[in-house]
Amino acid sequence: MAKQDIISRKEIEIVINTFYEKVKVDDAIGYMFASVDWNAHLPVMYNFWDNALFYTGHYSGNPMEKHQKAHAANPMTADHFKRWLALFEATINELLVEKMPTFSRKEREV
Ligand code: HEM
């Protein structure tokens, strides 16, 4: 089914919040995020994604280093990664499928 493009920072925030609500309670990968400070992490993720999508320059971190540390604490396998991707895709399908637009006009203002 056709999907909407993400066109605003507000939409990124909704997608990311919805995604991590799923991640936190997920049986397979939730425990890997148990010690994350969400008040600090979520804004970093908004910046990461708005830089990835809109080239805003808001993110200049080092995800590889963070994930090496995360992996040292809780080893990540291919199955964990697949689960992360499945939750991400489920979030996109839930929020951005054309026939079920969740975002109001205000949220779609750039
Ligand atoms: C099994 C899959 C994954 C796990 C378990 C995982 C876990 C984590 C953890 C524990 C952190 C550290 C949070 C903190 O600072 O407290 C983190 C940070 C981050 N992750 Fe992941 N992650 C996964 C996949 C991904 C993927 C696929 C992406 C990108 C598409 C991603 C992007 C990031 C970014 C941008 C950060 C922040 C780095 C920074 O602080 O600058 N992660 N992740």
pLDDT digits (tens, 9 = 90+) for 32-67: 999 999 999 999 999 999 999 999 999 999 999 999
Please give the Cα distance from 41 to 39 (Å, whole number). 6
Q: What separation in Å is there between the alpha carbon of 67 and the centre of ligand 1?
A: 6
Among candidate residues 92, 83, 109, the one with its CA nearest the CA of residue 4: 92
Averaged pLDDT score across all residues of the chain:
89
Mean pLDDT of 9-25: 95
> Cα Rg for the chain, rounded, in angstroms?
15
Q: What separation in Å is there between the alpha carbon of 70 and the centre of ligand 1?
A: 8
Nearest atom of ligand 1 to the alpha carbon of 59: 41
Q: What is the pLDDT of residue 96?
A: 82
Mean pLDDT of 82-102: 83
Q: What separation in Å is there between the alpha carbon of 58 and the centre of ligand 1?
A: 16
Q: What is the pLDDT of residue 12?
A: 92
Q: Using an 8 Å Cβ cutoff, are 32 and 96 in contact?
A: no
| CATH number of this structure's domain 9-96 | 1.10.490.10
Please give the Cα distance from 108 to 103 (Å, whole number). 7
Per residue in 6-27, is it b (16+ CB within 10 Å) or e — as a string?
Answer: bebbbbbbbbbebbbebbeebe
Please give the Cα distance from 23 to 2 (Å, whole number). 25
For residue 109, pLDDT over 60 is answered with no
